[in-house]
Amino acid sequence: MPPSSAALLRWYDRHRRTLPWRALPGRTVDPYHVWLSEIMLQQTTVAAVIPYYHRFLDLFPAVGDLARTESDTVMAAWAGLGYYARARNLHACARAVAAAGGFPRDMAGLLALPGVGTYTAAAIAAIAFGQPVVPVDGNVERVTSRLFALTDPLPGSRKTIARHAATLNDSAEARARPSDFAQALFDLGAGICTPRQPACALCPWRESCAGLRQGIAASLPAKAPRTARRVRHGAHFLLTDAGGQILLRRRPEKGLLGGMLELPGTEWRPAPWREAEALAFAPARADWRAAGRITHVFTHFTLHVDVYAAHVGHFPNTIARIGGMAVPHADLDTLALPSLMRKCVAAAWPERAT
DNA sequence: GAGACGTGGAC
DNA sequence: TGTCCAAGTCT
């Protein structure tokens, strides 16, 4: 028996989550709101996104406002949310959309936008424009793999899962409500068909779930073992002056933490840095002291950072050579400083409660 | 297609 | 404590 779209939509009508980017039943949504939330929600929890979403709409009420804003301001507003390529693409996308006079309504047009891939294009098409497509995110992959008892491991099974997911809206009920149907799948995955200990007894699709029938639902989707996380080491320097300024520099536009600010420092390498070795990279001659040590976990490696601190009357003229910039430490909270660097500052300067 | 790409919360 | 996880995209 195929899963009943009507049953899922009935369940959704009773249990749908209220979320800031979600329209009330019967109301239309602003494509800008849908797009902004979808970009923020990529690999990011709802709880983490909500405050950023509100702040962005306060700062940039419409896509044109975002398009007109300087890159630095956008990056600063995104600071702490992670995956900073999203913020760069968000800005580029806003400019493209503003120039075009609005968001494209079809999959091909959406897919052409920077930062918009298969999933996000489908989500915007379904939620903002009512197109009968099924966006396949992690939730939908989990629901689908369990529903059809697809046991091949991710990521290899991705195409097979997507093929099955695309059949989920093969009904008049689903096609009449593409936006609700897509979000019903998200809510089902987030609230019932959860990664661990799914609440199958409460599931509107329990009667048709092959994974449940076979007793393997909780173990799906299977995943290929991931490679061990590497370790890297670095040293960064907190230099302050008598004027209450702190020395920062900008990271390259591409790559890790691209376009964000940082404390000057060494490269990050597999071997630890001895103190004398690290100090050769200090941004100025000064009385450096070992001020703290932090560990920061990225997706693909763990970073150990030694933080050195020093205070000088005024920054040397040579800081321009390393691309250094002096900023009042009171402004730190408003700058494009990633969490890693905030952690470094806090470790070396605990009195400076932010 | 596999690896790069952040962060914080839950168990 | 370490591992897993969250509305993925790009190269």
pLDDT in tens, A75-115: 999 999 999 999 999 999 999 999 999 999 999 999 999 99
- In whole angstroms, give the CA distance from residue A193 to residue A186: 10
pLDDT of residue A132: 97
What distance in Å separates the CA atoms of residue A134 and residue A141, rounded to the nearest whole number?
11
Instruction: Classify A5-219 by CATH class.
Output: mainly alpha
Reported confidence tier of residue A354, pLDDT bands at 50, 70, 90: low
- Predicted confidence at residue A353, as pLDDT, reads 65
CA of A297 to C1' of C11 (A): 23
- B2 C1': nearest CA residue: A155
Mean pLDDT computed over A262-277: 97
Q: Check whether residue A252 has its CB closer than 7 Å to nucleic acid strand C.
A: no
The spacing between the Cα labelled CA in A124 and the C1' in B7, in angstroms, equals: 25
Domain(s) of CATH 3.90.79.10: residues in chain A: 230-348
| Residue A52 pLDDT exceeds 70 | yes
The pLDDT, as a whole number, for residue A2 is: 85
Q: What is the mean pLDDT of residues A145-167?
A: 96
Q: Which of the nucleotides lies closest to A342 (Cα–C1')? A: B7
- What is the structure's pLDDT at A24? 86
Nucleotides of C strand lying within 7 Å of any protein CB atom: 3-10
Q: Which of the following is catalytic: A38, A141, A275, A351?
A: A38
Measured CA to C1', what is the nucleotide nearest A302? B6
Is A38 among the residues known to form the active site?
A: yes
User: Range(s) for CATH 1.10.340.30 in chain A?
Assistant: 5-219
Protein-to-nucleotide distance from the CA of A258 to the C1' of C2, whole angstroms = 28
Confidence of residue A351 (pLDDT cuts 50, 70, 90): confident
Does residue A149 have a pLDDT over 90?
yes
A145 CB less than 7 Å from any atom of strand C: no
In this complex, the nucleotide whose C1' atom is nearest to the CA atom of residue A117 is C9
Whole-number distance in Å between A232 CA and C7 C1': 31
Nucleic strand B within 7 A of Cβ A155: yes
Beta bridge partners of A288: none
pLDDT band at A17 (very low <50, low <70, confident <90, very high): very high
The C1' atom of C5 and the CA atom of A223 lie apart, in whole Å, by 13
Strand B positions closer than 7 A to protein CB: 1-9, 11
* pLDDT for the residue numbered A320: 77
Q: What is the C-alpha separation between A120 and A222, in angstroms, rounded?
A: 24
Q: Which residues pair with A294 in a beta bridge?
A: A305
Return the DSSP state at A312: E
Name which of A52, A56, A21, A41 is nearest A339 in CA terms. A52
A228 touches strand B (CB under 7 A): no
- Amino acid letter for position A46: V
**Domain A230-348 sits in CATH 3.90.79.10:** yes
Q: Which of residues 270-329 of A touch strand C (CB under 7 A)?
A: 297, 299
Q: Residue A125 above 70 pLDDT?
A: yes
